[in-house]
Structure 1
Amino acid sequence: MYKIRTYNAISSKGLSRFPTDSYQVSSESTDADGILLRSQKLHTEVLPESVVAIARAGAGTNNIPVADYTEKGVVVFNTPGANANAVKELIVAALLMGSRDIYGGMNYVQGLTEMTDSGEMGKLLEKEKKNFAGGEIQGKTLGVVGLGAIGSMIGNLALELGMNVVGYDPAISVEAAWQLSSSVERMENLEALLACSDFITLHVPAIPATKHLINSKTLSGMRSNAKILNFAREEIVSSADMVAALDAGVIAGYITDFPAPELLGRKDVLLMPHIGASTEEAEENCAVMAANQLMDFLENGNILNSVNYPKIRMSRNGGTRITFTNKNVPKVLGSVLSVLADGEINVVDMVNKSRDEIAYNIIDIEGDLNDSLKAQIEAVEGVVHVRVI
């Protein structure tokens, strides 16, 4: 019986993926094998030694101490792309709101509480509507920074809306490249993209290299009529530098899903309460994907969409499966295979992958692995964690 501890409200569609005859799912478990969560911060939580995997129903993993868990041999999963459509649709709304003063016009109408004559209201609105005029997005240039699951979807959709699209991503994956329209013009660097765009939408992860990617220097190279959309992560944009740029007229506007106190009360800023992935469908998609990935790892040792482990999968070949994590140094795998050979254990199939400083291995053997041999594998220098499935 596998035990799953949940944090936050997880969609019932995701929770129902766990078979009740082999999984115990609870928010109270103290000796769980896996954790399923959304936004719960784990940096101050004491992780039970029983936990071997954590699945975050969402893309970002800022709430998880990934580096610490990697050293402990804990696999951390996320769900890239599961909420992409929800974010895509909100960004389309943000583009339209940034191009036309929809928000200002709606607020103006709602403020006419003392008017009782619809005819008079109609005359007034006809007179005042010019104050809320704007432009169309058709024919404008959209710069997409980060061409992953969401960025590529936005780029393709913007083309269908009649926009010109330029993109920049120094680390675009093969999968993302296949999804991206050939009509998206690839830019050589961020500065070139910013200089030619009317709207810029950000879709990069929050890592040290992207902290304050948008700052006083990068803002200075933009068009004065340009507007930035940030539905990725708060840390990517320096709020202080953004305020200074807006005050100086360096750019025209900022639209973000990450409000900050210094951005409040400005007519050139549109703020949303972090609702990019807050749709019923997105929460269901994320929960289902997270649950499936967690089960495949616990039952088979396979890894898909991990932020700290390599992508690796092997079909079951009967017998017993051994998985182990080790430091990515020479001779570890050979030493483990020697332990099996000395124990007269025949290897049926195996696969080995590495990522940065760790390596992960799946080995199928004939028969069973006794506790003595498992202990010998755990004692091999460089081995971090061993599981027998």
Structure 2
Amino acid sequence: MTDGSDESSGARIASYRKLAGYTQREFAEHAHLSLGSVRKVERGERLPTYGFLHTAARTLAVSVEELTGQPYRGQCRADERVHAPVAAIRTVARAYDLPSACRTGSRPLEEIAADVGAATRHRAAARYTRLGLALPALLEELTAAVHRLDGEEKRRAAKLLASCYYMAHCLAYRLGYADLASLLEDRQRWAAELSGDALSVALARWSRAGGFQAAREYGAGLRLLADARNELAEQVGAAPSPTAVTLLGSLRLREVTLASRARNEQATAHHLEQAERLAGQVHGGADRVHYHLTFGPVNTAVHEVAAQVELRHPEIAAGKARALRLPPSLPRTRRGHHHIDAARAFLAAGDREAALAALQQAREVAPQQTRYHPMAREAVRVLAGQYRKVGQDVRALAAWMGSAAAGAGR
């Protein structure tokens, strides 16, 4: 079968299903999916949820990335520039524990920290190309510092290194390199533990939960998050700092995500309620960013929209998406992700115009995030399939993504 990035997830599911010898009915029964959903997804008439994709992948013994076609590369020079640093990141991560004699020296930590700050801004704005260009050298330099320094300086270098591994993990995950993302989770944990910083350790466990999420091992991920949250709460005490509130709240929001993808309505509602309670402790009522994570009332509402999509309540999700207003201060990664989730909700609710508008907003706010997001690409395909004659706006969006849907409906 082909692995071209212009093929829909539904078409790939159908191809792998046939290779496995399943009829649509047999596949639906084995995967515990409705036959109607399987037919509509394979025909490109319905956008699959994350739960659907993970269930299909597990039943067919393939990865989710094989079904979504990630990584999306080779379509143009800009795509190759985005992916080019991946090999260097992989090399640095593989050699993380080699002795200092094998490494060159590093600059003073103050200079490195300034560059880490710039990389942090690239990540928050979903500027993948610029982030990727910065990360390999920062990872190498900070690894050398960790091996060379002692005491407080070593811990500070390790904290910066854990931050860079977090950003590298985000990049690998967003570009579809699941194996590298898993490796970087482990490296982030290693650096965080060397730092002796409880909040860095909590962030590393937040990242690790993403691996369980990607593997659809929701129970294990939820146990990990509960342990991380309880341990952090014990360490920070009854009056947590604003930074600790952000970490505690973010752990809760990841619990919302895992519980909703497990389609556990009761657990999802519980974690949302607890997240809302923590959001009430955010100073000034405006979302804050600490340790790369965003937490507050708005991001909690953003997670609820996505959760309602996964729980198969599209009308509720669409209603909440229409009512939600995102402040410009919310990081572009969060705003872009919300617009993609809103498009999913609108498509499932049958509001194609609102779905198209949400995808256009996602492109405007976070273009690289939108271009390489599998659900955004799939949503464009579904839109193209649902319009009898595809409008210019849909074709333009599909062409920008490098999708075969650009020529649909002509």
Task: Give the TM-score of the pair, scaled to structure 1.
Answer: 0.30
Task: Give the TM-score of the pair, scaled to structure 2.
Answer: 0.29
Structure of greater Rg: 1
Higher helix fraction: Structure 1 or Structure 2? Answer: 2
Higher strand fraction: Structure 1 or Structure 2? Answer: 1
